[in-house]
Structures are given as structure tokens and as C-alpha cells.
Amino acid sequence: METVRITGRPSCRSRKINKVRRNWSGIHQGQPNTVPSQEVYERPACGEKVYDHGAKRKIEAHSPALATALA
């Protein structure tokens, strides 16, 4: 199990954070992108999301903009 250390205090001042799995949608380099079942750490008090390195890599791997750039 990977341990994520989060430093600094969030705006909501809550120390509680949960690991959740959700579909992620966004726009990367002007192209829509959806990552199914993305793991992210989320603060229930304010909804702030924290992405670890693995999550960022998974988003990049699903990016059509990045696939076009590498081709």
C-alpha cells in the first residue's frame, strides 16, 4: 500500500482524507479526456482532491492529446 504524505493545512482545516475511486473527466491540451475508476484522495469536509503520482500517470496514459503527441 502506497503512503501519501500531505503537508500543509487545507483551507477547511480538516485533517481527514479518504481514498475514493471515481470516473475522472477533464480537458488536457484542448481534448476531452475520461479516466474510468480513477483513485484519488479527497477531503470530505471541502471536496479538495489530491492526486498521487500513479493517478497522474494514469490520467496521462488515457489522454488522447498525449497519444497524438507521441505518435
In a domain, 10, yes or no: no
In a domain, 11, yes or no: no
Over the stretch 9-32, which tens digit does the pLDDT of each residue have?
Answer: 667 888 888 999 999 998 877 888
Q: What is the CATH number of the domain that holds 26?
A: 3.10.20
In a domain, 49, yes or no: yes
Q: Whole-prediction pTM value? A: 0.67
Q: In this structure, are residues 40 and 18 in contact, taking their beta carbons and an 8 Å threshold?
A: no
Over the stretch 32-63, which tens digit does the pLDDT of each residue have?
Answer: 888 999 999 999 888 889 888 999 888 888 88
Q: Which residues contact 66 (CB under 8 A, 6 or more apart)?
A: 28, 29, 60
Number of domains in the chain: 1
Q: By residue range, what is the domain housing residue 65?
A: 18-70
